Chains A and B, each alone.
Chain A
Amino acid sequence: MNPIAVEICDTCGRAQLTGGYACRSCGGTALCSKPVAGDCVVTAVTKVDRSPIESPVGTVPFYLAMVTLDATPEVRVMAVCAEAVEIGQPMTVTSSDGLAPYRLEALSCKRDT
């Protein structure tokens, strides 16, 4: 299972997605990159029926969700899924290189594979 790359602020300990130059919470500039597990909870979801951009899980309809990572709940990740998911559902989010596309998988799928 490929982890998700986040940056942890040395000053306040908060995590955020990679790509920033400073901590968005306290402004600290000492950020250290850390891979975290993709276990997560869905906080928002939409079934996308129209999109000018193709999704990595195929053509429309597909599901786009926001999830919070269990390891760093302050980090919200936007992820795609071919199957319907619900708010509150525990899932796993995966990434091939720590960046988008982020794919959502059911926890049971994770155990099967």
Chain B
Amino acid sequence: MATKVAIIAANGGLFDAYKVFNIATAAAASDAEVGIFFTFEGLNLIHKQAHQQLPMPAGAEHFAEGFQKANVPSIPELVSMAQELGVKIIACQMTMDVMNLKEEDFIDGIEVGGAATFIDFAKDANISLSF
């Protein structure tokens, strides 16, 4: 049976983005079915503009050099890789309403849904993670 991975992304920093997308692409590359539910600050990670310049945590700015040295892919690169590998991206409708965001504000190829949409995807997942 194929592995199914359900991820909740609820935080909007650069480190959060790497945790979410590294795990998601590695899982998808290992032939797992992967879905990510982006909610509250997590929506930053798929926002057209915001996801291109996500903030480092305060006091961790000096890691920028390390990221460059390790040749870590950028978040937009990781996002498009994840999508190419078939990772399902679900944006939380409720948060979008609260923050007055439209589907056009986000990267292409996403789904918009509520908590029930994610629960339906996650109900038979072997791995569930929350970041």
Q: Do A and B come from one complex?
A: no
Q: Which residues of A contact B (CB under 8 A)?
A: none
Q: Which residues of B contact A (CB under 8 A)?
A: none
